[in-house]
Structure 1
């Protein structure tokens, strides 16, 4: 196939370029399908409250009638409760670790004070 330029080399190059465009199109399509599958999988693992938040966020982003003065907020109580729960868990873990270390040191001390049978 010879294009207007008349050069067979140019014709080969242009054919190759067209094939690359087609390949890139199908590659992008596959990548988008993979992203969509990951999104569906992730959404299926979410709780109802998380899905509600996602829906609200989508409304903010895509709803043309949404007014900029309207605000969708996560409840401060939810955040505070989660933070307190996390803080409590961290403190409990620290206490347990300290207790275990203390017990280990006491045992080492007892072992060092025992008379050696010899």
Structure 2
């Protein structure tokens, strides 16, 4: 079971999306993927279009606020595997699991997985 600690969960909840987003961009671009593909992946998971995403970044929302406003894709539960040492499908704290879903999708994008498979088609 991938148990996260309450401290770990609290730290994730308070982190701003804006502080992590540039790392996502760097990670995918370093591997030859585009910001557009990253937007596509984030929109698939959260329902946020590019403009909405930019306003969330500008407002420096926390991950808690970010996912409170998101419309999570019903197929997000198909995201499985290990990210940052945790098996995403076994994380019991919903917010932490959602953040790790996002990390996992970014990771798959950077690793060169096909878009159809990242978007669980």
Using the size of structure 1 for normalisation, the TM-score is: 0.21
Q: Which has the larger radius of gyration?
A: 1
Using the size of structure 2 for normalisation, the TM-score is: 0.21
Which structure has more RCO (C-alpha within 8 Å, separation ≥ 6)?
2
